[in-house]
């Protein structure tokens, strides 16, 4: 097991069906880690298939958190996630474990990592441009910028330096404090054709596992619940009302899931500047291991 430094957090981000769950379990086992769910729907009890939760067998392979923590009648926001995730990160770190956040809800992950809620800023494009500019600077250039703004950091850390410069530029719209943790974001992606095939196949498997019954349960018992509006459930409501055929509803789930995966990739690229690794590339495992080793050995 690794002798981990404090305040290190790994984030596994990427589109639906790309393989985030499998990698998170693999890394938790290899690096003495515990997994924190970063998906907005998996927090809800009683719905497991359409939310693509890790199975009971998968959850038994590594500690999981923030799964099944809300009733279907309750709401769960980005603020709720940030509060809960920060508390869990602190607890896991104090136990000498490595926190691993896995999920595809970009708003949640960015709100945690960048320390602000996007609703509080009207400068998304400008912030993205500034971020891209700062990330291209060398350490010397970056910390020269800090000096020019009379900003002093207690330690040399590129992410915190960039965040501090963003706050100096767009402080009016950034309502939250930057995180005290150092994050490594592992972006997972795949060739679009392969990814879409995986999405279609996963929906077929979900149907075999009882997705229709789960959707009907929501339709009959919790039609206005937050999770009932999620992809994988809402598409069946017109079927239950006799408006469309079942095949059309299933096709709609697949199509909406594919479109959602594209939006996820766009969010992570444009809003968070995530560099993606192809999960089917021959050097995928080696690249991931190299990034993690470098990150955990970084004493910044």
CATH topology classification for 192-261: Helix Hairpins (1.10.287)
Residue 19 labeled ligand binder: yes
Residue 15 labeled ligand binder: yes
End-to-end Cα separation, the chain, in angstroms: 21
Residue 104 labeled ligand binder: no
Residue 223 labeled ligand binder: no
Residue 16 labeled ligand binder: yes
Tens digits of residue pLDDT in 115-174:
754 444 445 556 666 777 787 778 888 877 787 777 877 666 777 787 777 767 665 455
Q: Are strands 98-103 and 276-278 parallel, antiparallel or unpaired?
A: unpaired
Write down the pLDDT at residue 126: 60
Tens digits of residue pLDDT in 210-243:
999 999 999 999 999 999 999 999 999 999 999 9
pTM over 0.85: no
Alpha-carbon span 25 to 10, nearest angstrom: 12
The domain limits of the chain are: 123-177, 192-261
Residue 169 labeled ligand binder: no
8's tokens: 């290190």
Residue 105 labeled ligand binder: no
Alpha-carbon span 153 to 200, nearest angstrom: 48
Residue 5 labeled ligand binder: no
């Amino acid at each position: 097991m690794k002798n981990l430094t404090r305040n290190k957090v790994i984030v596994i981000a990427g589109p639906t069906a790309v393989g985030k769950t499998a990698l998170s379990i693999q890394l938790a086992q290899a690096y003495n880690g515990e997994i924190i769910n970063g998906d907005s729907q998996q927090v809800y009890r009683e719905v497991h298939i359409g939310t693509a939760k890790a199975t009971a067998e998968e959850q038994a392979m590594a500690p999981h958190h923030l799964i099944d923590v809300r009733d279907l009648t309750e709401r769960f926001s980005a603020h709720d996630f940030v509060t809960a995730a920060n508390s869990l990160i602190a607890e896991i770190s104090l136990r000498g474990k490595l926190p691993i956040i896995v999920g595809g809800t970009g708003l949640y992950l960015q709100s945690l990592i960048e320390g602000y809620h996007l609703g509080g800023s009207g400068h998304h494009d400008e912030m993205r441009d500034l971020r891209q500019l700062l990330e291209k600077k060398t350490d010397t250039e970056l910390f020269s910028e800090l000096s020019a703004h009379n900003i002093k950091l207690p330690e040399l850390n590129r992410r915190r330096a960039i965040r501090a410069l963003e706050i100096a530029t767009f402080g009016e719209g950034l309502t939250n404090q930057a995180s005290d943790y150092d994050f490594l974001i592992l972006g997972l992606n795949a060739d679009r054709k392969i990814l879409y095939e995986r999405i279609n196949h996963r929906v077929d498997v979900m149907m075999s596992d009882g997705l229709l019954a789960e959707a009907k349960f929501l339709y009959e018992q919790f039609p206005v619940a937050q999770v009932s509006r999620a992809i994988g459930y809402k598409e069946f409501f017109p079927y239950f009302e006799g408006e469309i055929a079942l095949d059309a509803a299933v096709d709609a789930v697949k199509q909406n899931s594919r479109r959602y995966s594209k939006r996820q990739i766009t969010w992570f690229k444009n809003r968070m500047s995530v560099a993606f690794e192809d999960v089917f590339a021959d050097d995928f495992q080696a690249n991931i291991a190299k990034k993690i080793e470098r990150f955990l050995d970084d004493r910044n």
